[in-house]
């Protein structure tokens, strides 16, 4: 049975996961692509500076991985609190 305390804990876990996802998204998109681009450009991947690579390609790969990670973790949270769909 879904109690108020269980629902509150579920919502808290969901918001915690969402916060982590948004922080990673911000660091990859804004941080690696803009803020830290000059520092990252001292390294290269496939002949391209890493800052440029993250702005053009790397962020897309990280975002796709983030989607799968979020879905996996959300499934775990759903099962932990008994909120999964049957």
pLDDT at 1 over 80: no
Cβ-contact 41, 52 below 8 angstroms: yes
**Mean pLDDT (whole number) for 24-29:** 90
Q: Where are the beta strands (DSSP E) in 1-86?
A: 44-45, 48-49
Nearest-CA neighbor of 63 among 15, 33, 26, 25? 25
- Domain holding 51, by residue range, is 4-81
Counted domains in the chain: 1
Q: How confident is the model at residue 84 (pLDDT cuts 50, 70, 90)?
A: confident
What is the overall mean pLDDT for the chain?
A: 89
User: Is residue 45 a part of any domain in this protein?
Assistant: yes
- Kind of pairing, strands 44-45 and 48-49? antiparallel
pLDDT at 53 over 70: yes
User: Is residue 86 a part of any domain in this protein?
Assistant: no
For 34-50, b where at least 16 C-beta lie within 10 A, e where not — what string? eeebeebeeeeeeeebb
User: Is residue 12 a part of any domain in this protein?
Assistant: yes
The pLDDT assigned to 46 comes to 84
Counting residues of the chain whose pLDDT is more than 90, the rounded percentage is 48
């Amino acid at each position: 049975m879904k109690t108020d305390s269980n629902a509150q804990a579920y919502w808290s876990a969901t918001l915690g996961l969402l916060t982590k996802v948004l922080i990673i998204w911000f660091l990859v998109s804004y941080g690696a692509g803009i803020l830290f681009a000059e520092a990252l450009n001292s390294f290269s991947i496939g002949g391209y500076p890493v800052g440029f690579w993250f702005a053009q390609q790397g962020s897309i790969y990280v975002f796709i991985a983030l989607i799968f990670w979020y879905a996996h973790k959300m499934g775990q949270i759903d099962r932990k609190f008994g909120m999964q769909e049957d």
